[in-house]
Structure formats: C-alpha cells, structure tokens
Amino acid sequence: MEFTNLTHFWFNLKNKGVYTLKPLTTLSSTCYSSSIVHLNIKEIVFNIKCFSLTSFCITLEYVNQIVPLLRQISQLEKLTLSLYAHGRASFIDGAHLNNDIIIKIPYLHTFIFDIVTEDVIINKAYLPTSDDVRRAFIQKGYNVDCYIDYLWNERRSQCHIYPLPFTIKRINAITNKYLPCGVFKHVRKLCVSDPIRSIEYDFFVLISQAFPLLEDLTVLSTVNQKKTTK
C-alpha cells in the first residue's frame, strides 16, 4: 500500500504487512502477537519524529528486531515503548536503555516506557537490585521506579521499570509481591499475574488505592486464596 500525504499512522500488528509511507512523521503500533510484525519501513524511518510501540504479548524479538529498528530512526524526537520481553540473559535496565537506544537517537527528548523483563535466569552470585536497574536513569536525570521479583527460589525473575509520573493508560502485568508505589491516575487497564502466590483481598484494596480510575482488571493466578472475607 502507498500513501503520499499521510503524516500520522496508527495500526494494530496482527499480520505481516508492507507499507510505503514516505511522508510519515508519526508511527504508532500495537502488537497482539508474540511475534513482532516485519515492516518494510526503510524509506520512512528518516522522517519519523514520534514512534510508539505497544506489545500486549510477550516478545522474544526485542534484541533482534526492536532495538535495530529504533537505531534506524535517527530523527526520532519522542519514543514510547510498552513491552514484555522474554528469554533474555539479563534485565532491561537503565544502562541498557541508555547505551543501546537513547544515545543512538541524538534528537530524542521524550522517552516514555513501561518495560517488563520476564523469565530471566539469574546468577545467584549476583542478584541485581532495583537501585542497580534505576541507577543509569537517575544519573541522567530521569525519574523512574522499578521492582524486581525473584521467583522459584531465585532461579527465575521478573523486572519491571517505568517512568514517574506514569502517563500510559495501560500498565504491564504486576505480581502479588510488589505493587508500584504512588498513585497512577492515568492507568485504565491492569493485569495481575502471579503463578506461585495467592492474591488476597488486602492486595485488591491496595490496587484500588494505587489505580483509582482503573476500568479493566485481569487477574491470573493458579493459587487459591488463603483468607476469606465475610
């Protein structure tokens, strides 16, 4: 498909597609598949000023597709990433985002992100802390928060990093052990997923306080509640 006057383009990524969008300056995409769609955008990357990528499913293609794509968008000024990365050997932390993405995009002035790294096999001799993940961002003047949940006797882990204030309407899945600090007035959609711990009534009370305008809540748990309410 070819569009000659288009400057803004929002689309859902469900199937592979090829688009010719030469004058495009804003590109926003939403992925509903675990496989990020392959886009032929070589002719438009130099024009894009704003780029948003949201993945509703776990992706294995962060390193092979997402990072190389972002490095091509040399004129990018605003970037939004909402991702659930899987199968990495390390967390996606502030140092990685700065060294592999931010410094490669010289005109970038706004970076909004909500990134979960899941199922990372951690070396018990070195267990990164939330401060380790945040440090590079804090040194650059970013206000960010992060939590790390070590699961299954520290063999597997999950790291969630996001900016403050949080302005995205959907926040990536959280576990029962950690609830993001503060009040998230923009969030309308939330998923709580915990494969090893029960999700109790008290946690739902905390959710109602942290996400006062929440409209859509999904709970994924295989463990029965230990407490009952009258």
- The pLDDT tens digits of the residues spanning 111-169 come to 999 999 987 877 777 788 889 999 888 888 889 999 888 876 556 788 999 999 999 99
Range with lowest mean pLDDT among 103-112, 205-214, 219-228: 219-228
Please give the pLDDT value at position 145: 92
At residue 42, what is the residue type? K
Rounded Cα distance, 198 and 221, in Å: 7
Q: Taking all residues of the chain, what is their mean pLDDT, rounded to a whole number?
A: 78
Residue whose pair of structure tokens reads 């401060």 in the numeric block: 131
Q: Using alpha carbons only, what angle is made at residue 109 by residues 104 and 114, rounded to the nearest 5 degrees?
A: 80
Tokens 């995409």: give the residue: 29
pLDDT tens string 166-195: 999 999 888 877 777 889 999 999 988 877
Q: Domain spans of the chain?
A: 8-164, 168-230
d(CA 124, CA 121): 9
Q: What is the four-CA torsion angle of 84, 88, 53, 215, rounded to 10 degrees?
A: 10
State the Cα torsion 77-83-87-88 to the nearest 10°: 40
Strand, helix or coil at 53?
strand
What's the DSSP call for residue 89? S
Which H helix or E strand runs over 147? strand 144-151
Higher local confidence (pLDDT), 110 or 121 = 110
Neighbours of 187 (CB within 10 A): 22
β-pairing, 156-163 vs 110-121, is antiparallel
The two three-digit tokens of residue 109, written as one number: 């002035």
Residue 202 parent element (H or E): helix 201-210
